[in-house]
Amino acid sequence: MTASRTHVLIDTPIGEVTLVNTDGVLSGVYMAEHRPSPDRTSFGPRVTEGFDEVRTQLGEYFAGERTRFTFPVAPAGTEFQREVWAALAEIEYGTTRTYTSIAAAVGRPTAVRAVAAANARNPLCIVVPCHRVIGSSGKLTGYAGGLERKRFLLEREAEVREARATHAPV
């Protein structure tokens, strides 16, 4: 049986984002210049309605009102990729981890390059926070949507986290 897929385009502070739904569950979040570029012909028909909860929660995230997503997701990948993505999902809002720490978290401390490759293939950008992974030197490294978007997301999260810590309005 073939999966039913649809997609919608939404505007966000980091530009247009494509949301992909497979059998009623979010399976992809892609930015305009996403690298590596996904096969957009596999996204199914473009729709204008639906994705309501995802749109709401992403809006709350960008407004600084949400630090964790609660809708179901269905990323397609290998078992190892899904393990890495699960570890990414555990990175606390407004913080960062290194590829080395993620490799250790998945029980493969020498698989740093494999972790980086899985991170790069994350089909749920923002939702599964691959932007929170940085190099061991503390520098920003590759991001599917480009380093400017990664910097924006990290700075926004740090700003919101700081405001919450001091009880200041965002």
Query: Would you please indicate which residues are annotated as catalytic (active-site) residues?
Result: 130
Long-range pairs for 94-99 at CB < 8 Å and ≥24 separation?
Answer: 94/67, 94/157, 94/158, 94/160, 94/161, 94/162, 95/132, 95/161, 96/132, 96/133, 96/134, 96/154, 97/132, 97/133, 97/134, 98/133, 98/134, 98/135, 98/136, 99/133, 99/135, 99/136, 99/141
Q: Which residues of 119-142 are buried (b: 16+ CB within 10 A; e: fewer)?
A: bebbbbbbbbbbbbbbeeeeebbe
Cα separation, 103 vs 99, whole angstroms: 6
Q: How far apart are CA 26 and CA 74, in angstroms?
A: 6
